[in-house]
Every structure is written in structure tokens, then in C-alpha cells.
Amino acid sequence: MRLHRTQRTALPRLLGSLLLVTAAGISGVGATPEGRASSSGPPAAATPRPLGQIVPAPAEAKPGGSPYAITSATRIRVEDDSGEARKIGDYLAGVLRPSTGYALPVTGRGGDGIRLRLDPRDGGAGAEGYTLKSGRGSVTITARGPAGLFHGVQTLRQLLPSQVEKNSRQKGPWEVAGGTVKDAPRYAYRSAMLDVSRHFFSVAEVKRYIDQLALYKMNKLHLHLSDDQGWRIAIDSWPRLATYGGQTEVGGGTGGYYTKSDYREIVRYASSRYLEVVPEIDLPGHTNAALASYAELNCDGVAPPLYTGTDVGFSSLCASKAVTYRFVDDVVRELAALTPGKYLHIGGDEAHSTSHDDYVAFMDKAQAVVAEHGKTVIGWHQLTGATPVKGAVAQYWGYDRTGAAERKQVADAAKNGTKLVLSPADRSYLDMKYDKDTKLGLAWAGYVSVQRSYDWNPATYLDGAPESSILGVEAPLWSETVTDSGEIEQMAFPRLPGVAELGWSPAATHGWDAYKVRLGAQGPRFSALGVDYYRAPQVPWAAR
């Protein structure tokens, strides 16, 4: 379940990071937040930030030795011939140049500076892990693969003062504390979902969100591309899906859709930030936009009107018609051809207008279509009420009030080999109100405070599901009440970084008391990036 377009903002920079007192088991506990004066000296911003004080919390941070200072003489050295490493160096230079005012040329190996090294022999941290070593003459980031190198660059960025995120030249110093960070993710699947169906978001707005996800080492963007209120992706074999079904949104706005070129650009940009796009076409329910576009998809052959409300569960494809499966095959085939990533999401939730027998038969056929076109199927956890195919992933969106039988059904599927992505609605749904006074959002799953969104353990959340079945976590943002980047950010920040930490950081680092101080120190970085975040009263926000 999930609930007019105002001015589209294309705010210019990537979202900033977080800091401060590190989680349990990481060096630096008790440090003074950025911009706050300690009882014995000047503000902590005058000294390098302790290595462990980043979000997500690193696996290991060992301080030691002199800090490294970025100066006008600094070079970014790509210490191999990899085109990917060079791109990451150029990305880092683009982040640092405006605020430091330094040239920061990206050059080859040799000499001091910021060193980016790919080492295929460094297998201990996996494809996404990295090691960062900082000392007087250099800071070196080493990784087995480009994704790990990119994640290490995000850590370097977070270790610098928050004003590094600004677009204009700022006063330094730009120091990185001495020592070593060794880091790798807890889970392979770390995702956020953006609902572009209930309200449509431009390519620029999606790119901005991608940058924000990348800073927190997330590696998936789930795009909810179809629903009752709008169809958002061009399909050549069924053109009215986009041109007719895409012209509405909640509240009666003008909607919109992505051309295939638009979608390819989103995929390309996400890839440049080491995120995989996971497209979703919600089936067999949540299909009014499709049913309105093509009368033959309806059992009675009559197209319903376009829909701009927020009710759910009233629409369904006609499971008994052959044209339904030609439609599914065409859509999946074209979308799979556009999507280089592994996964394709077929929804499957809230199909209240589809009988159980029809639902099971439909999902069997839809899963087979996804496999035929070379993708791994994901469905909302109602898929486990049918017959998940081998290798299928079920995305759990239930909550504390979800019935025991439904939870057991999901856990039993997990025991039988179905992998799970966890996005409990009363924990990780970013569209839920923070409290009763929150202007935006819904509350059907209850209020979701910043602490509640952070303070749960994916490994033990779903009773009976083996820990090995948990593929990862996701933070969905449904858009019934959200219309532009500013509103996305009000709902996502500061909850998104906490979900990212659940997906990345070792369980031993988890602790609200330490996390909330690290998160509070993020306030100046949000502000430097023009993010009007929610000032949660539970969090001790740093003043500057």
C-alpha cells in the first residue's frame, strides 16, 4: 500500500555525508562534533575528523600518524591504466575543485597526493570493499574493483570538512586524519526505491537522487515505473502506455514519461555512480494506466478512465486472455533490453481484484517471461503466496501489525531458497510521516521516526527466515504526497543514511546513541548542499 507537481528543482551538487562520534567498536568515540566548541579547545572543525566518524560506519578504522593535507600542489594519481579508475579520479576532482579552489590535476602513477589504486589481487574486501591509508605525504585508496574504489572516494569525501560540498571557494584547511580504514559491505543489495508513477520526476531529479544514494554507498536504484496513476516508460510495441497512460499523476497533474533515451541516460548515470537500476512494472494489479490505454487488456474489453486518486487494489489485468501475456512479454522484452542490470521487478502486491487462482497462474507465467529475457525476477513479498521460481527474490514490505501467517509464508519461502530484500513499511518506508506534525507523507504504517528507521537488525527482523536468505535492504519512497526534489529530500533525509548503514556496516557497529551524534554532525553538510532536511528532535544537530 502507498499513497501538483511544483517547480522542479535541479540542485547542483551531490549530497553530502555524515560524521561524528563513531559507532560502537570503531575508533573515535567521544570526539567533539564538527562546529561545536569543546570544553578545552577550539571547534573540532579545526582538526581532522576521526577516521571512524563516517556514515555508513566502516568495518575497521585505526588512527595513527600525521594527517594528510590537500593543498594547491596536490595531484590525484591514478596508479594503473584502468579507464574506470581515471573516471573515478575525474569524479573526485569535480567534487573537490569548486570548494578548495585547487587545480587537482588527474595524472598517472608516482609521487605524493591522492592515490587511487585498483589491485585485482586484493580479494579480502570483495568487489565493493576498499582500504584507505592516510599519512603526511599521501592518502591512498586501494580496491579490488572500481565499485570499491568509488566507495573509498566517498569515505575520503566524508572525512573532509562539510564546506567541501559547496560550489564556491571556501577556506581550508583540507586535512584527512592519519591512519587506516578497511571497509566492505555487510549486504550485497543496498537499495532505495523512487516511485515515479504517482508523481513523475524528471531525469535531472532522478540523477540528483542517484548522487545522494551513491554518497552512502548504496548500489541499487529501484524505479517504480508503472501504477494506476501513470505509466512512465516508452514501450514501442504498446505506444499508448506512455503517450496516453503517462499523461496523469496524483491530483490531476500533467504527469510525463521517460523516452527510451531518457531511461538509458538514467541507467548510464547510475552506472557512473556504481548503482544498478532495477526497473519495476507492477503486475497484475496497480495497472489502471495500462488498462485505460488499451481496452483489450480488460476482461470486458472496456477501457476505464485514467485515474488520479490514491486508492489501491481495484485494478487487474485479465489473467484469462492471451493478449495479457503478449503484453507482458512485449513490455518485459523491451525493458530488459534497456536494462543491463541483473534484476527486473514485476510487483505483485495488492492484487485484490485478482482471484487467488488467477494470481498464481499469472505470476507463474510472468516469472517465466522474465527468465526468458535473461533477468532475475523480484516481486513484492505477496509473490510467496504463489510459487517463486528458483532464484527469485521477494521484497518484504510488511510491518509489525502484519499477520503471523503472512510473515510465516515469507519465512517459509526463504527456507526453501527464496532470497529476501527487507523494506518493512514501519521502518524503512521514507514516505511515512516522522510524527503527527509532519506536513508530507502518510501514516497507514504508523509514524516512522529517525530512530525507528535505524534501530532494527535485518538479520533477525523476520522470525524464521534464515540469516543467509537476507540479500539486503531497501528504503522505498512512494510519491502520493511528494512532488519534487525538495520534498524527496524532506522525507529521505535524515532517514536514508540510517537504512544505508544497516545495509553496509557490520552489525557490531550498530548503536543509536553513537549513530545519532554522527548523524547530527551531518547537518552542516546537508546545508552546504542545499538540502532542506527534516530537523528531527531526536538528533543533536550540529550548528555549523
Q: How far is CA 368 from CA 2, 260, 364, in A?
A: 27, 24, 6
Give the separation between CA 245 and CA 227, rounded to whole angstroms: 10
Query: In a 3-state reduction of DSSP, which class is residue 381?
Result: helix
Looking at 249, 276, 280, 350, which residue is catalytic?
A: 350
Neighbours of 237 (CB within 10 A): 12
Q: Grid coordinates standing for 47?
A: 582538526
Query: In a 3-state reduction of DSSP, which class is residue 407?
Result: helix
Q: Grid coordinates standing for 85?
A: 579508475
What's at 249, amino acid-wise? E
DSSP H/E element including 193? strand 189-195
Q: Grid coordinates standing for 248?
A: 496523469
Q: Active-site residue 350, yes or no? A: yes
Give the separation between CA 35 and CA 522, rounded to whole angstroms: 11
| 249: Cα separation from own chain's centroid | 23
Strands, DSSP E only, in 37-188? 60-63, 68-70, 76-78, 106-107, 113-118, 130-134, 138-143, 174-176, 179-183
Residue tagged 538514467 (cell numbers): 266
* Helices and strands, number each (H, E), in the chain: 15, 19
Query: In a 3-state reduction of DSSP, which class is residue 166?
Result: coil
Are the C-beta atoms of 15 and 211 separated by less than 8 Å? Answer: yes
Give the separation between CA 515 and CA 501, rounded to whole angstroms: 10
Give the separation between CA 161 and CA 329, rounded to whole angstroms: 51
Q: Give alpha helix (H) positions in 352-464.
A: 356-372, 404-415, 425-428, 450-454
Name the phi and psi angles at 380, rounded to 5.
Answer: -60, 165
CA angle 127, 420, 337 (to 5 degrees): 65
Q: Grid coordinates standing for 478?
A: 512512494
Name the phi and psi angles at 362, rounded to 5.
Answer: -65, -45
Q: How far is CA 210 from CA 194, 203, 275, in A?
A: 10, 10, 8
Give the separation between CA 395 and CA 284, rounded to whole angstroms: 16
Are the C-beta atoms of 378 and 312 separated by less than 8 Å? Answer: no
Bridge pairing between strands 226-227 and 230-231: antiparallel
Give the separation between CA 318 and CA 91, rounded to whole angstroms: 48
Q: Grid coordinates standing for 392?
A: 527469485
What's at 13, amino acid-wise? R
What's at 345, amino acid-wise? H
Q: Which residues are catalytic?
A: 350
